Structure 1
Amino acid sequence: MSTQNPTAVRVYLARVRSALADLPESEVEEILEDVRPHLAEMEAELGENPKVDALIERLGSPESYAAELRASGGYPPRPADAGDQTAVLKAKTGIGGSRFAFWGLVFSVGGFALFGFAAAVLVRVEPLLGLLFVTPVLAISVAYVVRKGVAPIVELPEVVKFREMAGSFRKDGNSKGLNYFRTLKPAWWVLCAAVLVVFGLLLVLRDTEAVLLLPLMLLAAVAVVWAGPRLKADRRLLWLAVPISAFVIGSMLGGAGAAVDLLARGSYGNGSYTGGYPPNSNDNYGNPQLRYGSQEVENVYAFDSEGKPLTEIYLYDEDGRPLSTTRYACEKSTGERRKIGDDNRYPRPQIERGVQDDDGHRDGYNGYRSYCQEKADVPFSAAIPKGAPAPTSQAAPSSSTSVAPPSNSAQPTR
């Protein structure tokens, strides 16, 4: 390597060394040894004999890069020297765009985590539509850092303050723990990719329409595995890796919460499904308060002493509280069952769903369309016990009144 024609990395590192000149020489050498492989790798990516300007475009100025190294290592800021470089930088780039890029990243991280959490809790695609409001903000921020780099953002007062706080945190005896977590970074990027792929497959199993989302999940998995190891060499990749990491963390927390809730409700009982989330993925299940044993009650039928079904009855408990359950109706346009509210009026129409062709046949699937039908008839006949007492005008039966036990004589209608 000729010293008369130094490489871009050597020139860049020479300026970094100058910006770190106030630190002990041994520590400066340690810092440069740590970043030199990443810079060499980036130089190789930029092609043969790249210019220093190409490195500055990717990493920011050597001075700002040195400032980042100070903050990450917990070193004090560089003493003020001749000239106000920050003022010159702000004049060249404009602080408004850099501030939008920074807070756009913060906003995107919160949005990706929130909507990932909601989608994992419900195991549905709909919450992910909220990302349509977050992604444009992130895209504008990415466009700024690709064009201007991260140097203007590093000089923002709020970013400088954050870096100072991070440096003091490392000085307070937490550097060993942080160093340990840094060693886990490669495993974290692989874990992110695995979570994205598994989450995408779960959404497809839950809702076939999510198959359109699966390629995006796979693309994000590849992107995070590629960008994660390169973050130290190119800080612009933070705008890619950090939102994806936030989405993964949110979905992991949401999935854990859904699993705990499912276990608390009792996922399965005696071989049959009894949990709070019934297996039909197209139903919007709501009020689970009315139960008979471990089974959720969705409908109630009442009969008079002659065995005739009663309609328009309202149920209350001993304190006058309505015994409400979720009411559903058919969505004619889609053939789906939808929630329309909660009330205590019974019985409800039975919702029959399936698939059929244009002739009404319902015994196949290929070429068939979904249908939904509300049936008001009672699906069984009831034989009232002969020993049942006749209605009286008393407010409550006396303790000596005997009531014949109900017989298990309800017969399905043939």
Structure 2
Amino acid sequence: MSVLDTTDALDVAGYAAAVRRSLADLGPEQVDDLTDDLEADLAEALDDERHVAHGRGVLEQFGPPEEYAAELRAAAGLAPASAAARAGLPLGDPVADARRLGRWALRRLRALAWWPPVESFLVALRPVWWLLRGWVVYQLVAIMSGVSGWLPHNLPAFLVLVGCVVLSVQWGRGAWFRSSRVAWIATTANVVAVVAVVPLLGSAQDWLGDRETVYDAYLAGALGNGDPETIVRDRAVDGVVVDGMQVSNLFVYDAEGNPLTDVQVYDDRGRPVRTTFDNGFEQYWFPEATEPWSFVSRVDSDGRARWNVYPLQGAPTSEFTYDDEGLQVLPAGSSATTPPWPFAKAPALDAAPEAAIGAEGPVPSPTSTP
């Protein structure tokens, strides 16, 4: 079957396009080299009165475009097209193959009556996809960097998000990534974004659900029509949460306000209270830190790892190496230290007076006179 849809009134441009489709498995640059000025050559041959077939149609004069394409291949010393290439299926360079497969699938869809209005609707939504694609790429970069969150929380992360969105929009508009040397980067990013968009949107929905629930509970307490001490979540969350933000470490001070170390923390049921559940694989930023930290566990007398001993100790992530099992470890000569404390000394506590439940403000001393 010819790659032409109709041969009744075939012009030079249509014939040249059909020849190029027959050569599509060679790649765009090689096709351009073989068919450079093809339209002009065909038109000149048709107008040449000395030609035996002068005055006849383009098909009658040059034969099927597939055969013409085969002659171009042979003249250039190239192997004949395979059966897959003759059928219009992709073969060769992965990026070019993906594009040809997309064009082949699109041609089949356009032959269906229900597809044109769907295609028009999807084309109108392309700018939305450009923005979403930039966000998805940012999320993947953030995950690989050990950062989590639906939106950036600092200026560097925000700039990365803006950069991903700009690159995505400019590529969608056809302004950037037009060279065949770099087009594979954008095509790969697009494929990865298509695969990752659904799970990332699912995780974003979970994160937003938690944030909205915490905010509602806080707002209810602030307005005086709820309990600000009780926060009900839609799903269980591991770790310690303060004001809706999950914390990575705990710092304990005694009654005199002095910092304490090696403090084991348990909840009311005797369960270890943990702030991290990554077993040392994640990275954590501290205020005014120049690089993230990673934590290590403590070992009890039974040789078991303990992650509820505070403050958690660790070191800047750049100091860690990996052992033979792929675990992150501190090399010889380096030791875990305590991260910077939020403040050197906490306010000291007075002797505990008897106070009424729910009392607010300063509690009078037992020796004071009303």
What is the TM-score of this pair, normalised by structure 1?
0.37
- Higher helix proportion (structure 1 or 2): 1
Using CA pairs under 8 Å that are at least 6 residues apart, name the structure with larger relative contact order, 1 or 2: 1
What is the TM-score of this pair, normalised by structure 2?
0.40
